[in-house]
Amino acid sequence: MSITVAMYSHDSLGLGHARRNRALAHALAADLPRLTGQRVRGLLIAGHPDATQDALPPGWDWLVLPGFARTPGGYASRNLGVSASRLTALRSGTAAAALEAVEPDLFIADRHPFGVGDELGEALSMLRERGTATVLGLREVLDSPDVARREWEKASWNGFSGADAVAAAYDAVWVYGDRGVYDPVATGELPGPLAERSVFTGYLSHGRPDDPVGPSGVQAPQPYVLTMVGGGSDGGALGLAAATARVPAGHTHIILTGPQMPQKDHDAILDAVCRSGAPKGTVRVSRYAPHVPKLVRHAAAVISMTGYNSMAEVMATTTPALTVPRSGHREEQPRRAAALARAGAVDLLPADELSAQAVGEWFSSAVRRRTFRDHIDLDGLTHIGDVAHELLAAQRPAAVTGLQHNATERIPHVSV
C-alpha cells in the first residue's frame, strides 16, 4: 500500500510556486509514512524547467509542462511559438493524462485553482469523480483586496462561478502563514466560501530542504553578506545597487542574480562589480545556488526582495534581513514587507529609496546584530503532515491506516 500525492504549479514568473510545493513534498514524504504506516510517492507538475534543479525525495518526480510567460498582453508561450489557446490545450491534456495515470490520493494546487486558462478544469473533474482529496495552497498575501476579489469573481467550473466554483473544486484551503502576522480573511482577500474551509498552517520556514553544496556550488568563507533576488526576472535594480554598495570590513559579498534574470541585467551587475573598485574576490556574483537556506543561515546579513519563499527562508534563521519589495504588477510584496516589518521580522526599504549607499549603510549596521523571530509561527512544514493526514482520513479513510480520527476535532497547533 502507498499514498500518492500530486501537486501543480503554473510557474509563469519566478519559481516560488514550484519551490513551495517542493518544500511540501519533502515534509509530506517525511511525515505521512510515520502517521499512516504507508509509503508515500508523488508527482510535481511544474511550468519551468529550472524547477527540476531542486532535488525531490525518493519516489517523487517532476513533470515539466511547456512554459507560459507573462507579457504585457497576458500569458504567452515561453518557447514553443504557438498561441496561448493551443498551449493551454497541450498543458491541460498533459496534466490530465498524468494525473489519471498516477491516481493521486491527495492533489495540491499552488495559488491558481484552475491554472492558466482554466487548464486544470478537466483534471479536477476527473479527480473529484474518483474521490481525490483536493487542496488549494495559498501564500498568506494574495494582493490588494479589490484585485483579489476580481480574480475570485472570474472563476468558473462545472456550472459554479466565483468563489463558489473554487469551493466546489477544493476540499480545503491551506494558507501558508501566521494569521497573527497577516490575515487574508480579515483583509477580504479570502472570500467567505473559502475562508470557511481554510487552515492557517504557519509559514513554511523551519525544515526547508537544504541541498548539499557541490563542487560548483556558491561557497565563501565567513563572514559574508548576501543579496538575493529570487528568480531574478525583475531583480536587476536591487542587484545593481548591491554590486556597488560598500562591503563591511572583513566581509565577502555574495550576490545571487537568479536563474530567470535577463542576461543583460546579469551582465550589467558583473560590469558594475568590476567598476566598483572592490578588491578582487570581495564581491561574488552567481545566478543560482541550490543551498540558499544554508547561505542565509550562515550570512552575517541578507538583503532580499519580498517573495514568499525568500522570506520563509530568511525567517527560519536569526540573520538580520532588509527587504526591498517589488513595486508594480501586484501589491503582494509591499503588503508582505509591511506586515513582516510590523512584526519585527525584517527591516524595510521601499523600492523608490533603493541605492548603493542605503544598501551599504544597512549592511554595516546589520552585521553587528541578530534578529529573533520565534514569536512568529514558522512551523508550517512541521504541521503539514498532520493537516494532510486528517484531510485524507476524512476524504478517503480506507486509504489511510493508523488514524484515531474525530471529524469534529481540530489539530491544536493549527489556527483555523
What is the per-residue pLDDT across 28-86, written as a single tens digit (0 to 9) for each?
999 999 999 999 999 999 998 888 888 899 999 999 999 998 888 888 998 998 999 99
Rounded to whole angstroms, the maximal C-alpha distance in the chain is: 66
CB < 8 Å & 24+ apart, contacts of 13-16 = 13/69, 13/70, 13/231, 13/233, 13/260, 14/230, 14/231, 14/233, 14/260, 14/307, 15/48, 15/50, 15/51, 15/230, 15/231, 15/259, 15/260, 15/309, 16/139, 16/230, 16/231, 16/307, 16/308, 16/309
Report pLDDT digits (tens) over 132-177: 999 999 999 999 999 999 999 999 999 999 999 999 999 999 999 9
Q: Which of 32-36, 196-200, 230-234, 244-248 has the lowest mean pLDDT?
A: 230-234
- Predicted confidence at residue 329, as pLDDT, reads 72
Element containing residue 175 per DSSP (H, E): strand 172-176
- Alpha carbon distances (Å) from 393 to 116, 137, 385, 407: 30, 19, 12, 9
- Taking the C-alpha atoms of residue 160 and residue 71, their distance in angstroms, rounded to an integer, is 29
Task: Determine the Cα–Cα distance for residues 148 and 141; give it in Å rounded to an integer.
Answer: 10
pLDDT in tens, 203-225: 999 999 876 655 555 767 899 99
Tell me how crowded residue 7 is: count the other CB atoms within 10 A of its CB. Answer: 26
Burial class from Cβ neighbours inside 10 Å (0-12, 13-18, 19+) for residue 115 reads buried
Are the CB atoms for 323 and 306 separated by under 8 Å? yes
Neighbouring C-beta atoms of residue 353, cutoff 10 Å: 9
Q: Cα separation of 171 and 193, whole Å? A: 11
Q: Assign domain 224-366 to a CATH class.
A: alpha beta
The stretch 174-183 carries a mean pLDDT of 98
DSSP state of 75: E
Question: What is the pLDDT at residue 412?
Answer: 36
Q: What is the radius of gyration, based on Cα positions, of the chain? A: 21
For residue 74, the SS3 value is strand
Please give the pLDDT value at position 290: 73
DSSP state for residue 332 in the 8-state scheme: H
pLDDT of residue 233: 86
Of 205, 389, 214, 405, give the one whose Cα is nearest residue 312: 205
**For the chain, what's the residue count?**
416
Mean pLDDT for the stretch of residues 282-304:
92
Instruction: Sort 97 into a burial class: Cβ within 10 Å, 0-12 / 13-18 / 19+.
Output: middle
Supply the pTM of this predicted model: 0.92
% of the chain beyond a pLDDT of 70: 93
Helix (H, G, I), strand (E, B) or coil at 63: strand
* C-alpha cell of residue 11: 510557474
Burial of residue 146 (number of CB atoms within 10 Å: 0-12, 13-18, 19+): exposed
| Cα separation values, 20 from 124, 138, 208, Å | 21, 10, 9
Buried b (16+ CB within 10 A) or exposed e, 189-201: bbbebbbebbbbb
pLDDT at 74: 84
Mind listing the pLDDT tens digit for each residue in 361-416?
999 999 999 999 999 999 999 999 999 999 999 976 665 654 433 333 333 334 44
Q: Do domains 2-203+378-399 and 224-366 have the same CATH topology?
A: yes
* Band of pLDDT at residue 323, cut at 50, 70 and 90: very high
Classify burial at 81, counting beta carbons within 10 Å of its beta carbon; exposed 0-12, middle 13-18, buried 19 or more.
exposed
Is the Cα dihedral 407, 193, 136, 126 positive or negative?
positive
Domain boundaries, the chain: 2-203+378-399, 224-366
> Where is average pLDDT lowest: 183-187, 213-217, 299-303, 369-373?
213-217
Sign of the C-alpha dihedral computed for residues 156, 160, 162 and 165 taken in this order:
negative
Q: Provide mean pLDDT across the span 260-272.
A: 95
Classify domain 2-203+378-399 at the CATH superfamily level. Glycogen Phosphorylase B; (3.40.50.2000)
The DSSP secondary-structure symbol of 246 reads P
Q: What's CA 37's distance to the chain center, in Å? A: 29
